[in-house]
Structure 1
Amino acid sequence: MAAIQNLQAYDPFADAAADTSDSKGVQSGHIHIRIQQRNGRKTLTTVQGISDDYDKKKLVRYAKREFACNGTVVEHPEYGEVLQFQGDQRNNIATFLTRIGLCTEEQLKMHGF
């Protein structure tokens, strides 16, 4: 009978820190956070510019849980893979990305009304 092991804290972004250009694992380039109006008061928040080194589906899964909203990864013909979240999540996404160390505040570009 196998002994039960304690589950260690799982870091979902451990495999994403493979970028060796910076000492902190921060990506190069800008990340654009936009808001789009849907119908009525409904809005979408889109995040574009995250490098391909990071697993975007894991980022969306963790952010959905933290912000209590729905989200998905959409393939855009011009911008590549774009993260979409329901509602106005611009400030939440900005603090989330800087807190996990994916980018710095200078790399974030906020667009919208």
Structure 2
Amino acid sequence: MVDLDIEVPHAYDPFAEAKNSDAPGTKEYVHIRIQQRNGKKCLTTVQGLKENYSYDKILKDIKKQFCCNGNVVQDKVMGKIIQLQGDQRKNVSQFLVQAGLVQKEQIKIHGF
């Protein structure tokens, strides 16, 4: 057999440069969702905050300002998630922007 010196190209990611830039559409989003429990009860979940933030301090400030209860849940896939009692979607989004944790364009609000 003939021994050929052919180099097989490696997988090329065309969006590798875009992930590192600040171009629109490449940023990480903070997702604020609502989940229906039983009856009128519901939960608000906040997912996607940076890992270097202190989730306990953020939760403490949110609970104090909006008079609701909540906790931090560790999920295998999603990472840390903040859960709050009641429909706090608008309140939490305004709080995160005013505190300077995220920009308004980085927040996605989901729910009915």
TM bin (shorter chain): 0.7 to 0.9
**What letter corresponds to residue 65 of structure 1 in structure 2?**
K
Aligned to 2:107: 108
Please, which runs of 5 or more residues in structure 1 have no aligned partner?
1-21, 23-27
Q: Percent identity?
A: 51
Between the aligned partners of 1:54 and 1:73, the Cα distance in structure 2 is: 12
Between the aligned partners of 2:76 and 2:38, the Cα distance in structure 1 is: 24
Between the aligned partners of 2:103 and 2:37, the Cα distance in structure 1 is: 29
**What letter corresponds to residue 109 of structure 1 in structure 2?**
K
- Count of paired positions: 87
Between the aligned partners of 1:81 and 1:36, the Cα distance in structure 2 is: 17
Aligned to 2:70: 71
Between the aligned partners of 2:77 and 2:91, the Cα distance in structure 1 is: 25
Between the aligned partners of 1:53 and 1:99, the Cα distance in structure 2 is: 19
Aligned to 1:33: 32
* TM-score normalised to structure 1 length: 0.75
Aligned to 2:56: 57
Aligned to 1:43: 42
More helix per residue: 1 or 2?
2
**Runs of 4+ residues deviating >3 angstroms:** none
Aligned to 2:17: none
Aligned to 2:88: 89
Between the aligned partners of 2:57 and 2:99, the Cα distance in structure 1 is: 13
* TM-score normalised to structure 2 length: 0.75
Shift of 1:65: 0.3
Shift of 1:78: 1.1
**What letter corresponds to residue 110 of structure 1 in structure 2?**
I
